[in-house]
Amino acid sequence: MLAAAVWATGCSKDIASAPGTGAPANAVNPAIIASTDPEALFLQNATYDPRMLHRSWEGIPSIGATANGREMYVAWYSGGPGEGPGNYVTVAFSRDNAVSWKKDALVVYPRGVKSRGAAARANVAAAALRAAERDFASAKALVTGKTRADQELSTFYDKVLPSNESHARRQTYTALPNLARKANVKFAERRTDLDRSLPKNSRVGRLQIRMVLSGEWESIRQFIYDVESASEFVIIDDVTLSQNDPGKPLTLTLELSTYFRLGSNGN
């Protein structure tokens, strides 16, 4: 209650009666206390400092006292049209059990509120700009990536895939036995079937190829490598190795697929 009383009656009344154009002849000139704090200006005896003369809002008082109660200190916020940026803290004290008070003995005044606010807004705007630039770069990369993917898919469809079923059969008919012969793998049998489970509106057709071969392990490894790295578009779907007699070569069964282009009507 004492803090509120000092704030509401004594201090406000003294400030209101202070002349707006100058201090009384016996007034103590305000002094700036040296400080390294970049955010605040410390003023001593600041009652008639021009920054203190026109307070339109005061509030949030607090009080402290020495152990014997003789020295008492009251602090509160003031300045500006209301609570917010530009407020400062002012301190009054009494050394005679609150009989008399020294008003505005110490004031902590903010430095450059407007400039800090502008800097904060500039930082927010810069952060928003950076975020927008990142979003734009991501969107641009997405569009570029999609365009590149479309181009690569078109190249694959037009230049890599056989143009029709007949072309696909011819492409694998001699190529696979030739690779087997090159790797010293014996070609035993082959069956090629058209996959009829694909949708009618599919852009590609599929040939399923089953091959049975035999040979030594190193030769079989080489053959599989050659098939995977061949220029013909052939996919290995499944590999089965067996050996009925330890003294005989391994038997390799391969399930392969190759694809070819279909017309607009699926033929």
Q: Where are the domains of the chain?
A: 2-20+27-111, 119-160, 165-261
To which residue do tokens 């903010």 refer?
110
pLDDT category at 222 given cuts 50, 70, 90 is very high
CATH of 165-261, one of 3.40.50.300, 3.30.70.60, 3.10.20.70, 3.20.20.80: 3.30.70.60
Is residue 203 within 8 A of residue 157, CB to CB? The reply is yes
Looking at per-residue confidence, does 49 or 237 come out higher? 237
> In this structure, what token pair is assigned to residue 164?
């029709």
* Helices within 156-265 (DSSP H only): 165-182, 217-228
The better pLDDT of the pair 249, 7 is held by 249
Mean pLDDT of the residues in the chain: 76
pLDDT at 137: 81
Provide mean pLDDT across the span 185-203: 87
Neighbours of 261 (CB within 10 A): 17
Is pLDDT above 60 for 15? no
The per-residue pLDDT for range 16-39, each reduced to its tens digit, is 333 443 555 444 555 556 555 556
Helix, strand, coil share (%) of the chain residues, nearest 5: 35, 30, 35
